[in-house]
């Protein structure tokens, strides 16, 4: 018996994934054709990526994955997707002033451009939504490239592994193990006996919501209620709302659109933070499963409470009357809309904005920071710690306090009538602690490293830089606000944040488990 | 009646003894010595052999028997015995089981295992304990619809707060129905404005929880309420079922179990019970957890010796009422002589239930009230039932029989009967009816 990992099997299977990732580049290619833009960027990217895929696949043409290989594969798959995703960025910006374009002038510029592209790509696939793109506009970047940026979030949303399981039989064989490592939340819910069907069901629900959403957005445009929401924008935002992504081809994010659009975006952002398995039950006519779900109730409750508090703060003047977002003091509709939008966006890690909350008063910002800590539901596309984990952590702490006074009492932790397994509790406690430790250490590192290059970050900025990347949220505070950029960070900080986005999306454990397993088996 | 009893243990022997005078009884037991012995003790025919086999059953003439009672100590033997009996003839089969899982399976799929009536020893014992604990004021208590519905009869004393109220004043509970009042030996069908007087006997049907609450209204002195401390010692199946039934009645008992694994399982299955993992014979632990202040202690440990020890300890610590489960029927009197308030023997309880059942009607679950003036029946409505598709108000209008529907269960859930409730096939209806009209009502359903 070997403690080692058969990396060839993991890498071989990776080739299959990369091959299919090339196919998705047809979408921006079509956009390029429609807008009469340079088609060579995506043609070359497509050929290059397909070539890499076929080459990598030959490492092990008949991969057989065990549990460790599955962990390695899932970890690598997300890294590989991010690396592959840089190709269009690098090519499209080659020779231009784009921050993500390949620069060949000096080694410094070369490495920075590659790191920038990787940051943008990782931020896309992990549905973070943090950007280093610099100026976001279709004047600077092609429609096709910005659509690719949106598409990466849509692919990453329900999970690239889940997508692979759904459509590739060679991956579905080891599907349950793979999905377990990727799926957000503490445990895998099998909806059907076959894992591939479960994956397909989840993707179909995801796809269905996306289609309906795009139709509504475009419908508003046709109905004259959303002048800026043309078909391109409707599709582009359709790609980043359901995956709790947050990228927008508009520099002003959702603030570029009418109030009607903003009201439509809110419910779809909220939907994205719900466990998609619950929608499957609703579609089967079992709506009570959703309504009785403890996590769903807590998620809805948290949203309602935090939104209400924020709305009151805004109504009482926590936001200066800024250009984007408008005055909220004493304006009920706007205060409520801004509160619901920002909470809906940050609580479940989407990262859109309709107001520059980086300019709000500190007490309102701290409330947003609190919302960022909550995260979406398990089995949703949202990031963060996840509501269900906080519920179990809270209940476990309560249990421990009670049994300290009554040492003989046996008290299982219950969630919605079901007993939570002690092993699961241990896993959740470890995860939550890891999350907090990693977040705190990274905040310290980012603050020190940024001071090194001569920029003083505020406490709120350092904390939000770390939290927004590990939680796959996107925007932070101060310079990192919704209309700001992560461009000014040093390479070291950017690399750390790329790592945080990566482990944050995979919920830390798979990636670290692979590392620890590799170190301990020496 | 030709009755075949398989299993000549304490339960079988006890049933045989009570049936022998009036019926033709054949007892089958695997142990030849036991069979031989019983031949002289009771006036019955005995056969030594495996009662599950067709050969032995044919020898016992099961094919022409009216009733087969399988009451060995082994659940599966009893189930197979009934299954075999069903293939040989059409005797009414009764099986004794310990496992509540088998009971649940049988209840969910009527006729499973070829069993016509199933008695679950541990559940029955727990029901007895809970009745003794929860409804000391009741004259008569009977569970219906697999425990979802309870019928109880109370005598209203002059001190009772309910005396002098009207029925609608006394019936504050959503899922409780007054079905009958007996006054000076006469049955009155209660209306909302019927007065309840001292000395009346009131019969109510409803959820166990609402009956418990009503008992509290009728006799607040003797009936325990939510604030009362109930401690169950021992997480045996009886201990578990007792805790579960108490939870159903809104109590929050404490349960002490020594084995860590079992304690964990119990804590998982009993959300409203405080499960403690400790040796209950440790007096230091008992006083630390203030068990002496408990109002009621139930001992349901594995052996009579342990139960005796804990019961005596609890009594000495000053517990008000101690109820002990006693495995050996011979010790019941010993327990009660040394001051244990109530000793309950599971085998006696089982034998009594089976015997009672054979005496009463075979077809339906019933309770007989007040010297057979009225009966409470549980009827399962069939597709062709004349009740199905009618509202209760229509039924009362159309028939001149005196009856009151107390509770309806539909898909294992309680439906509170109202005038406009429409009955459906598959419903279980628990109703009180004049004894003279029982067959009329039964034929309509």
A chain contacts of residue B267, beta-carbon cutoff 8 Å: 410-412
Residue B60 has pLDDT above 80, yes or no: yes
Please give the residue of chain A at the shortest CA–CA distance from B260. Answer: A410
Residue B430 has pLDDT above 70, yes or no: yes
State the pLDDT at residue A1.
39
With bands split at pLDDT 50, 70 and 90, how would you rate the model's confidence at B437? confident
Please give the residue of chain A at the shortest CA–CA distance from B258. Answer: A408
Q: Give ipTM to 2 decimals.
A: 0.72
Please give the residue of chain A at the shortest CA–CA distance from B286. Answer: A408
Half-sphere exposure of A65 (CA within 13 A, CB side): 22
Q: Which residue has the tokens 């401390």?
A: B229
Nearest to B267 among A406, A411, A417 (CB): A411
Nearest to A412 among B260, B268, B289 (CB): B268
Q: Which residue has the tokens 């049933």?
A: B15
Query: How is A13-52 classified by DSSP, letter by letter?
Result: HHHHHHHHHHHHTHHHHHHHHHTT---HHHHHHHHHHHHH
State the pLDDT at residue A206.
92
| pLDDT tens digits, B190-237 | 887 888 888 888 888 888 888 888 888 888 777 777 768 899 998 888
- Rounded to a whole number of angstroms, the CA Rg of chain A reads 22
| pLDDT tens digits, B267-297 | 999 998 999 998 888 888 888 888 888 888 9
User: Can you read off the two tokens belonging to residue A312?
Assistant: 């009151």
Half-sphere exposure of A34 (CA within 13 A, CB side): 11
DSSP-derived letter for residue A421 is: P
B185 shares contact with chain A (CB less than 8 Å): no
For residues B49 and A387, give the distance between their C-alpha atoms in angstroms, rounded to a whole number.
62
Please give, rounded to a whole number of angstroms, the shortest distance from the CA of B256 to a CA of chain A.
9
A chain contacts of residue B275, beta-carbon cutoff 8 Å: 409-411
Please give, rounded to a whole number of angstroms, the shortest distance from the CA of A401 to a CA of chain B.
15
User: Can you read off the two tokens belonging to residue A432?
Assistant: 């939550």
A408 shares contact with chain B (CB less than 8 Å): yes
Q: Is residue A294 within 8 Å of A387, Cβ to Cβ? A: no
Across the interface, whether the CB atoms of B289 and A408 are under 8 A apart is answered yes
A chain contacts of residue B278, beta-carbon cutoff 8 Å: 408
| Backbone φ/ψ region at A345: left (φ over 0), alpha (ψ -120 to 50), beta | alpha
Contacts of A400 (CB under 8 A, 6+ apart): none
Among A206, A207, A228, CA closest to A217: A228
Please give the residue of chain A at the shortest CA–CA distance from B279. Answer: A408
For residues A160 and B418, give the distance between their C-alpha atoms in angstroms, rounded to a whole number.
56
Instruction: Kindly state the greatest CA–CA separation across chain A.
Output: 74
DSSP-derived letter for residue A360 is: S
Across the interface, whether the CB atoms of A410 and B277 are under 8 A apart is answered yes
B356 shares contact with chain A (CB less than 8 Å): no
Please give, rounded to a whole number of angstroms, the shortest distance from the CA of B274 to a CA of chain A.
7
B chain contacts of residue A417, beta-carbon cutoff 8 Å: 271
Q: Is residue A161 within 8 Å of A174, Cβ to Cβ? A: no
Q: Is residue B139 within 8 Å of B155, Cβ to Cβ? A: yes
B chain contacts of residue A413, beta-carbon cutoff 8 Å: none
For residues B4 and B278, give the distance between their C-alpha atoms in angstroms, rounded to a whole number.
45
Please give the residue of chain A at the shortest CA–CA distance from B272. Answer: A411
Please give, rounded to a whole number of angstroms, the shortest distance from the CA of A189 to a CA of chain B.
21
Best A408, A417, A422 member to test B by mutation, with max B CBs in 10 Å, is A408
Across the interface, whether the CB atoms of A409 and B275 are under 8 A apart is answered yes
Across the interface, whether the CB atoms of B276 and A419 are under 8 A apart is answered no
Please give the residue of chain B at the shortest CA–CA distance from A421. Answer: B268
B268 shares contact with chain A (CB less than 8 Å): yes
Q: What is the dihedral of CA B85, B91, B92, B94, to 10 degrees?
A: -30
With bands split at pLDDT 50, 70 and 90, how would you rate the model's confidence at B371? low
B266 shares contact with chain A (CB less than 8 Å): yes
| pLDDT tens digits, A49-81 | 999 999 988 888 777 777 778 888 888 888 999
Give how far the C-alpha of residue B341 lies from the chain's centroid of Cα atoms, to the nearest Å: 20
Among B288, A388, A422, CA closest to A411: A422
Q: Tell me how far apart the terminal alpha carbons of chain A are, to the nearest angstrom.
A: 14
Among A197, A148, A184, CA closest to A272: A184
Segment B100-117 mean pLDDT: 83
B291 shares contact with chain A (CB less than 8 Å): no
Residue B363 has pLDDT above 50, yes or no: no
For chains A and B, CB pairs below 8 A equal 28
Q: Are strands B428-434 and B403-410 parallel, antiparallel or unpaired?
A: antiparallel
Nearest to A408 among B264, B271, B276 (CB): B276
Across the interface, whether the CB atoms of A409 and B276 are under 8 A apart is answered yes
B265 shares contact with chain A (CB less than 8 Å): no
B274 shares contact with chain A (CB less than 8 Å): yes
Across the interface, whether the CB atoms of A412 and B276 are under 8 A apart is answered no
State the pLDDT at residue A468.
92
A331 burial (CB, 10 Å; 0-12 / 13-18 / 19+) is middle
Please give the residue of chain B at the shortest CA–CA distance from A402. Answer: B274
Q: Which residue has the tokens 């990566």?
A: A502
Among A488, A203, A259, A482, CA closest to A350: A482
pTM attached to this predicted model: 0.80
B chain contacts of residue A408, beta-carbon cutoff 8 Å: 276-278, 285, 289
Please give, rounded to a whole number of angstroms, the shortest distance from the CA of B269 to a CA of chain A.
9
B285 shares contact with chain A (CB less than 8 Å): yes
| pLDDT tens digits, B16-52 | 888 888 888 899 999 989 888 888 888 888 898 898 9
Across the interface, whether the CB atoms of A408 and B267 are under 8 A apart is answered no
Average pLDDT, chain B: 84
B chain contacts of residue A414, beta-carbon cutoff 8 Å: 271
State the pLDDT at residue B80.
93
Best B274, B279, B280, B285 member to test A by mutation, with max A CBs in 10 Å, is B274
Spans in chain A with pLDDT lower than 70 = 1-4, 94-97, 173, 181, 183-189, 323-324, 518-522
B243 shares contact with chain A (CB less than 8 Å): no
State the pLDDT at residue A186.
60
Among A230, A247, A239, CA closest to A35: A230
State the pLDDT at residue A154.
93
A412 shares contact with chain B (CB less than 8 Å): yes
H-run or E-run covering A512: helix A509-520
H-run or E-run covering A195: helix A195-222
Among A258, A267, A242, CA closest to A344: A267
State the pLDDT at residue B427.
85
Across the interface, whether the CB atoms of A410 and B275 are under 8 A apart is answered yes
B388 shares contact with chain A (CB less than 8 Å): no
Residue B362 has pLDDT above 50, yes or no: no
Best B233, B252, B267 member to test A by mutation, with max A CBs in 10 Å, is B267
Please give the residue of chain A at the shortest CA–CA distance from B274. Answer: A409
Q: Which residue has the tokens 């009207």?
A: B166
A418 shares contact with chain B (CB less than 8 Å): no
DSSP-derived letter for residue B155 is: E
Across the interface, whether the CB atoms of B276 and A410 are under 8 A apart is answered yes
Buried b (16+ CB within 10 A) or exposed e, B199-233: ebbbbbbbbbbbbbbbbbbbbeeebbeeebbbbbb
A chain contacts of residue B289, beta-carbon cutoff 8 Å: 406, 408
| pLDDT tens digits, B137-156 | 777 778 887 778 888 888 88
């Amino acid at each position: 018996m070997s403690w080692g990992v058969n990396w060839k099997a993991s890498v071989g299977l990776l080739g299959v994934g990369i091959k299919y990732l090339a196919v998705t580049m047809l979408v921006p290619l079509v956009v390029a054709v429609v807008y009469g833009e340079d088609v060579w960027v995506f043609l070359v990217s497509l050929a290059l990526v397909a070539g890499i895929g076929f080459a990598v696949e030959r490492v092990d043409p008949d991969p057989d994955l065990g549990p460790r290989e599955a962990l390695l594969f899932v970890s690598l798959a997300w890294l590989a997707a991010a690396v592959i995703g840089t190709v269009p960025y690098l090519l499209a910006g080659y020779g231009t002033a784009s921050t993500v374009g390949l620069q060949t002038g000096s080694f410094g510029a070369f490495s920075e451009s590659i790191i920038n592209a990787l940051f943008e790509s990782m931020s896309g696939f992990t549905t973070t939504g943090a950007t280093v793109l610099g100026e976001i506009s279709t004047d600077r970047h092609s429609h096709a490239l910005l659509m690719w940026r949106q598409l990466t979030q849509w692919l990453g949303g329900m999970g690239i592994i889940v997508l692979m399981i759904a459509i590739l039989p060679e991956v579905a064989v080891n599907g349950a193990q793979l999905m377990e490592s990727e799926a957000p939340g503490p445990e895998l819910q099998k909806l059907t006996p076959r894992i591939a069907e479960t994956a397909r069901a989840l993707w179909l629900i995801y796809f269905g919501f996306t289609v309906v959403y795009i139709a509504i957005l475009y419908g508003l445009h046709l109905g004259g209620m959303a002048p800026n929401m043309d078909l391109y924008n409707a599709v582009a935002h359709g790609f980043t709302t359901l995956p709790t992504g947050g990228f927008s081809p508009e520099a002003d994010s959702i603030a570029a659109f009418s109030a009607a659009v903003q009201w439509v975006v809110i419910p779809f952002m909220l939907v994205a933070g719900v466990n998609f398995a619950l929608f499957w039950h609703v579609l089967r006519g079992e709506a009570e499963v959703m309504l009785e779900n403890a996590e769903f109730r807590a998620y809805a409750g948290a949203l309602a409470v935090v939104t209400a508090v924020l709305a009151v703060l805004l109504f009482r003047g926590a936001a200066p009357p800024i250009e984007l977002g408008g005055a909220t003091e004493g304006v009920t509709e706007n205060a409520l809309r801004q509160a619901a939008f920002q909470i809906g966006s940050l609580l479940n890690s989407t990262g859109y904005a309709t107001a520059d909350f980086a300019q709000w008063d500190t007490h309102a910002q701290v409330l947003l920071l609190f919302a960022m800590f909550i995260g979406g539901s398990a089995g949703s596309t949202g990031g963060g710690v996840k509501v269900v984990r906080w519920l179990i952590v809270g209940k476990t702490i309560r249990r421990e306090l009670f049994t300290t006074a009554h040492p003989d009492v046996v008290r299982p932790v219950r969630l919605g009538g079901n007993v939570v397994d002690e092993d699961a509790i241990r896993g959740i406690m470890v995860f939550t602690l890891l999350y907090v430790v990693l977040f705190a250490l990274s905040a310290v590192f980012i603050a020190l490293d940024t001071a090194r290059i001569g920029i003083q970050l505020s406490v709120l900025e350092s904390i939000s830089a770390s939290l927004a990347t590990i939680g796959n949220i996107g925007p932070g505070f101060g310079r990192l606000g919704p209309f700001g950029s992560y461009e000014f960070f040093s390479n070291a900080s950017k690399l750390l944040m790329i790592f945080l986005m990566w482990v944050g999306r995979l919920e830390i454990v798979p990636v670290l488990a692979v590392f620890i397993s590799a170190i301990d088996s020496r | 009646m030709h009755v075949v009893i398989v299993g000549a243990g304490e339960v079988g022997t006890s049933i045989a003894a009570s049936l022998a005078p009036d019926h033709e009884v054949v007892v089958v037991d695997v142990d030849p010595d036991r069979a031989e012995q019983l031949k002289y003790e009771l006036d019955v025919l005995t056969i030594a052999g495996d009662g599950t086999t067709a050969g032995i059953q044919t020898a016992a003439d099961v094919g022409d028997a009216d009733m087969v009672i399988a009451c060995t100590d082994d659940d599966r033997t009893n189930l197979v015995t009934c299954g075999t009996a069903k293939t040989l003839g059409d005797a009414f089969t009764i099986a004794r089981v310990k496992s509540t899982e088998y009971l649940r399976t049988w209840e969910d799929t009527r006729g499973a295992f070829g069993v016509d009536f199933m008695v679950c020893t541990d559940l029955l014992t727990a029901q007895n304990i809970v009745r003794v604990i929860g409804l000391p004021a009741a004259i008569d208590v009977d569970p219906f619809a697999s425990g979802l519905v309870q019928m109880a009869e109370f005598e209203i004393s002059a001190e009772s707060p309910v005396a002098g109220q009207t029925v609608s004043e006394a019936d504050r509970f959503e899922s409780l129905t007054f079905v009958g009042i007996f006054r000076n030996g006469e049955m009155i069908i209660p209306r909302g404005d019927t007065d309840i007087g001292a000395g009346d006997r009131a019969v109510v049907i409803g959820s166990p929880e609402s009956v418990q609450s009503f008992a509290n209204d009728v006799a607040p002195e003797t009936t325990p309420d939510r604030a009362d401390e109930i401690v169950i010692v021992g997480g045996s199946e009886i201990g578990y079922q007792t805790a579960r039934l108490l939870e159903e009645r809104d109590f929050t008992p404490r349960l002490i179990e020594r084995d860590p694994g079992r304690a964990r399982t119990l804590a998982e299955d009993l959300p409203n019970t405080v499960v403690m993992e400790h040796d209950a014979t440790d007096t230091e632990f008992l006083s630390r957890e203030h068990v002496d202040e408990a109002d009621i202690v139930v001992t349901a440990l594995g052996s009579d010796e342990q139960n005796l020890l804990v019961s005596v300890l609890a009594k000495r610590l000053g517990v008000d009422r101690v109820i002990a489960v006693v495995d050996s029927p011979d010790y019941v009197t010993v327990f009660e002589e040394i001051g244990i308030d109530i000793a309950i023997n599971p085998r006696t309880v089982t034998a009594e239930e089976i015997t009672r059942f054979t005496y009463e009607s075979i077809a339906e679950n019933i309770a007989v009230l007040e010297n057979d003036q009225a009966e409470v029946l549980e009827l399962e409505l069939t597709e062709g039932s004349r009740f199905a598709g009618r509202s209760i108000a229509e039924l009362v209008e159309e028939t001149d029989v005196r009856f009151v529907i107390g509770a309806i269960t539909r898909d294992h859930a309680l439906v509170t009967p109202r005038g406009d409730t429409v009955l459906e096939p598959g419903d279980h209806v628990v109703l009180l009816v004049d004894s003279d009209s029982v067959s009329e009502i039964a034929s309509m359903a």
